[in-house]
Chains A and B, each alone.
Chain A
Amino acid sequence: MQRQGDSLRRGFATKDIGAARATHVARGAAWLRTARHGGILALIAVLLILPVFLPNNFYYDVAIKTALNAIVCIGLNLLIGYAGQISLGHAGFFALGAYASAILTSHYKWPGLLAMLAGALGVALLAFLVARPILRLRGHYLAMATLGLGIIVSIVINREIPWTGGPDGMSVPALRIWDWRLTGPVTWYWISAGALVLAVWVSLNLVESPVGRALRALHGSEIAAETAGIETSRYKVLVFVVSAVFASIAGSLFAHAERFVTPVEAGFLRSIEFVTMVVLGGMASTFGALVGASILTVLPQVLTAFDEYKHVVLGAIMIGVMIFMPRGLVPTLMSLWRRRAS
C-alpha cells in the first residue's frame, strides 16, 4: 500500500516526461528501495548470526579487520565507482585517523571519541585542501596527488619516532566512553559491526540522493554533466572528502580495537590493497565493496600458506578482474542471476 502511494507520487512528479516512462522510473525506484532496505536487513542478519561461527578470538579479530577494511572500501567505492576518480593513498587517511587517535589519547590524554572526531576533521580538511585545486584537472592527476600524499604520510610516521614510535609502532590506550572501558574482541566485534552497518546505510543513501545522481552523471561524461548544470568539481571534492573521512574513522576504530598501530598501515601497498578490494567486489556497488573487502581480508588470514604468494595472487587478481570482469564480482553475478531469472 505504502509502495503504491510512493510510486503514485513519483508518477505525478515526472508526469510531463510521459506516462510510460514515469511508471517505469517509479517501478525502478521502488524496486531499488526495497533492495536497499533488504540489503541492509540481510547484512544485519549476517552480522548477528556470524558470532555463532566464530570459534575463538583469532576469528573475531579477522571479523573486526574485515568490517573495518570494508568501511574504507565502501568510502573508496564512492570515489572510484561513482565519481570515476582513483585514490592511491587511502591508507594514508586510514593511518592518519589511527595515529590521531593513538597520539591524542596517549600523549595528551584526550577522550577517545573526541580524538576520533579530531582525526576525522583533520583528515577532512587535508583532503579538501588537496582535492580542491587538483580535481579541477582531469585524468590521472588525483591518482598522482593521492599517491604522493600517501607516501609522505607514511614517511612522516616512520620518521617522527618520539611521536609515533617509528617503524616499531606504538601501543594505543583502550577506548573509554566516560567510565566504560571498551576492550576485548567480542565488544569490538559489535562496535565494528555497528560502524559497518552505519557506513553501508550512509553510502546507500548518498548514492540514491541528488548527490549520487550528480556523481553518476559526471562519471558518464563530465562535459555532459557540466552542460546539464552540475558543478562537477564541487561534487568530486565532496565525495573525496567523504571517502577520506570513512577511512579516517575506520583507522581510529582499528587503533583502539587492536590497541597497537604500525606504519605498515600507511604503506603504499595497503592503499593498493584497498583499491583491489573495491575492484574485485565491483565498482559502483556498495555491497560489492563489502564482498571484495571480505574476500581479500579473510583469505590471507585463513590460508597462511598463501602468505608467500600474497603479491602474486594480489597482482593476478587485479589484472584478471580488470580484463575478464571489468565490472567486478557482485555486479557481474547480479546481472547473470537477473538474466537467468527473467
Chain B
Amino acid sequence: MAEFLQFLFSGITVGAIYALVGLGFSIIYNASHVINFAQGEFVMLGGMGTVSLMLAGLPMYVAIPLAVCLVVAVGLLLEKFAVEPARNAGVITLIIITIGASILIRGVVEVVLGKDYHRLPPFTGETPIIIGGAVLQPQGLWVIGALVVVVAVLRWFFEHTRLGKAILATSYNPLAAQLVGIDVRTILLVSFGLSAALGALAGILTAPITLTKYDVGIMLGLKGFAAAILGGLGSSYGAVAGGLALGIIEAMSAGYISSAYKDAVAFVIILGVLFFMPSGLFGTKRTERV
C-alpha cells in the first residue's frame, strides 16, 4: 500500500506538470488551431531563466516573476514575428515554423547559457511529509497547488472577463468573432502570452525536483503534447485530466513494470488514442465543413 501511494504521489506531481504544459498547447490550439511545438522551450526558458537570474545575484522572489515576464516576451515575439506572417499558410508550414522556433530557442540557450545541469532550491525546504508510509516532497505540493490555482484562475478568466470570452468566441468561430468586433490578431497574441506564462511556471516549479538544462524542453513539451491529445486537443479540462492520467500511468508502469520504458508510455498512449478515439477523452468530434 505504501508503495502504491508512493507511486501515486510521484505520478500526480509529474502529471500536474504535464497538465500545465498541456494547458499551454490547448490554449494556443483553441485560439488559432496551431500546435505550438515550442511550448516545451517555454518550460525550459522558465527554469533556466530563473536559475540565471539567481546566479546573477537576484533573490528568488524577484527572479521568478522576472523570468516569467521574459518568457512571456519570447512568446509574444514568436507569435508576432514567426507565426503571424504565416497565419494563412497551411498546417505543415505552421508545424515547421514552431519546430524551427523551438530549435532556435534551444540553440540560443545552448550557446549563451551552456549545456550544464542546473538546480533551483526548493521553495519551502526539503523536509519530506510522510503520509501512510509514502514520502511526499514539499515541492510536489507546490506543483499540485499551482495547478489548482491555475485551473481556477483560467476558469474565472474564460467565464467572467471580456478578454477570456473573446478568446472562447474566437475558438468557436474566428470569422463570426471578427464580425462582432473582436480583434482576432490580439487574441492570438494574448493566447501565446498566456501559454508562455503557463509554460514558464511549469518550468520553474519542476526545476527543484528534476533539474533543468537547455534540452529539458523537448521531452516535457512532447509529454505535455501527449497529455493534450489524450484529453482531447482544445479542451482545457481535458488537458488537465490527460496530464494527471499520463503522470499516474507513467509512474505506475515505471514502478510495477519497467522503468526502462517509462518515457515510451506517453507515446504509446498517443498512438493508442489516435487509433481508437481520435478526439481524446474530452474533445468534441470535429466535422469538416465544405
**A interface with B by C-beta (< 8 Å):** 80, 84-86, 88, 130, 133-134, 137-141, 143-145, 147-149, 151-152, 155-156, 159, 223, 268-269, 272, 275-276, 279, 308-319, 322-323, 326
* A84 and B92 contact, CB distance less than 8 A: yes
* A312 and B107 contact, CB distance less than 8 A: yes
Given contacts A159-B261, A315-B107, contact A322 B270 (CB under 8 A): no
Contacts of A159 in B (CB 8 A): 260-261
**Which of the residues B97, B111, B229 comes within 8 Å of A322, measured between beta carbons?**
B97
Q: Which stretch (B9-17, B45-53, B271-279) binds chain A?
A: B271-279
**Which of the residues B89, B92, B99, B278 comes within 8 Å of A137, measured between beta carbons?**
B278
**Which of the residues B35, B85, B263, B271 comes within 8 Å of A130, measured between beta carbons?**
B271
A-B contact count (CB 8 A): 125
**Which of the residues B99, B111, B229, B264 comes within 8 Å of A144, measured between beta carbons?**
B229
* B288 and A311 contact, CB distance less than 8 A: no
- In Å, the complex CA distance between A291 and B97 comes to 20
8 Å CB interface, B101-135 against A: 101-108, 110-111
Q: Known contacts A140-B35, A152-B268; can you find 17 more A-B pairs with CB under 8 A?
A: A88-B95, A137-B274, A137-B278, A147-B267, A148-B271, A149-B267, A149-B271, A155-B267, A159-B261, A268-B222, A308-B110, A315-B101, A315-B104, A319-B104, A322-B97, A326-B86, A326-B89
Most chain B CB neighbours (cut-off 10 Å) among A137, A144, A309: A144
* A310 and B91 contact, CB distance less than 8 A: no
Interface size range of chain B in the complex: 35 or more
**Which of the residues A85, A139, A312, A326 comes within 8 Å of B93, measured between beta carbons?**
A326
- In Å, the complex CA distance between A312 and B101 comes to 9
Contacts of B108 in A (CB 8 A): 312
* B102 and A151 contact, CB distance less than 8 A: no
B274 to chain A, nearest CB (A): 5
Given contacts A152-B264, A318-B99, contact A312 B274 (CB under 8 A): no
- In Å, the complex CA distance between A223 and B288 comes to 10
B105 to chain A, nearest CB (A): 7
- In Å, the complex CA distance between A275 and B93 comes to 11
Contact with A along B215-228 (1 / 0, CB 8 A): 00010001001100
Contacts of A155 in B (CB 8 A): 261, 263-264, 267
* B268 and A148 contact, CB distance less than 8 A: yes
B245 to chain A, nearest CB (A): 16
**Which of the residues B91, B99, B260 comes within 8 Å of A272, measured between beta carbons?**
B99
Contacts of A137 in B (CB 8 A): 274, 278
* A145 and B100 contact, CB distance less than 8 A: no
- In Å, the complex CA distance between A330 and B111 comes to 31
**Which of the residues A143, A145, A323 comes within 8 Å of B271, measured between beta carbons?**
A145
B168 at interface, CB cutoff 8 A: no
B57 at interface, CB cutoff 8 A: no
Task: Please give me the 7 A-B residue pairs with the lowest Cβ-Cβ distance, nearest first.
Answer: A318-B100, A315-B104, A311-B107, A315-B103, A312-B107, A148-B267, A148-B270
B290 at interface, CB cutoff 8 A: yes
Q: Which residue of B lies closest to A267 (CB)?
A: B218
Q: Which residue of A lies closest to B82 (CB)?
A: A319
* B274 and A272 contact, CB distance less than 8 A: no
A156 to chain B, nearest CB (A): 7
Can you list 11 pairs linking A and B with CB atoms under 8 Å apart? A141-B278, A145-B274, A147-B270, A149-B271, A152-B271, A223-B290, A275-B99, A312-B107, A314-B104, A314-B107, A322-B100
- In Å, the complex CA distance between A151 and B99 comes to 16
Contacts of B264 in A (CB 8 A): 151-152, 155-156
**Which of the residues A84, A316, A323 comes within 8 Å of B86, measured between beta carbons?**
A323
B153 at interface, CB cutoff 8 A: no
Given contacts A148-B267, A156-B264, contact A319 B97 (CB under 8 A): yes
Q: Which residue of A lies closest to B108 (CB)?
A: A312
- In Å, the complex CA distance between A23 and B215 comes to 57
B181 at interface, CB cutoff 8 A: no
B96 at interface, CB cutoff 8 A: yes
A310 to chain B, nearest CB (A): 7
Contacts of A312 in B (CB 8 A): 104, 107-108, 111
- In Å, the complex CA distance between A248 and B86 comes to 33
* A279 and B82 contact, CB distance less than 8 A: no
B288 to chain A, nearest CB (A): 7
Given contacts A140-B35, A159-B260, A323-B85, contact A309 B99 (CB under 8 A): no
B289 to chain A, nearest CB (A): 10
- In Å, the complex CA distance between A156 and B101 comes to 28
Contacts of B290 in A (CB 8 A): 223
Q: Which residue of A lies closest to B270 (CB)?
A: A148
Q: Which residue of A lies closest to B103 (CB)?
A: A315
Most chain B CB neighbours (cut-off 10 Å) among A137, A138, A143, A148: A148
Q: Which residue of A lies closest to B262 (CB)?
A: A155
Given contacts A130-B271, A268-B218, contact A80 B100 (CB under 8 A): no
* A145 and B96 contact, CB distance less than 8 A: no
Given contacts A140-B35, A144-B229, A323-B86, contact A318 B96 (CB under 8 A): yes
Q: Which residue of A lies closest to B218 (CB)?
A: A268
B221 to chain A, nearest CB (A): 11
* A80 and B92 contact, CB distance less than 8 A: yes
Q: Which residue of A lies closest to B93 (CB)?
A: A322
B278 to chain A, nearest CB (A): 5
A287 to chain B, nearest CB (A): 20
Q: Which residue of A lies closest to B85 (CB)?
A: A323
B69 to chain A, nearest CB (A): 23
* B97 and A323 contact, CB distance less than 8 A: yes
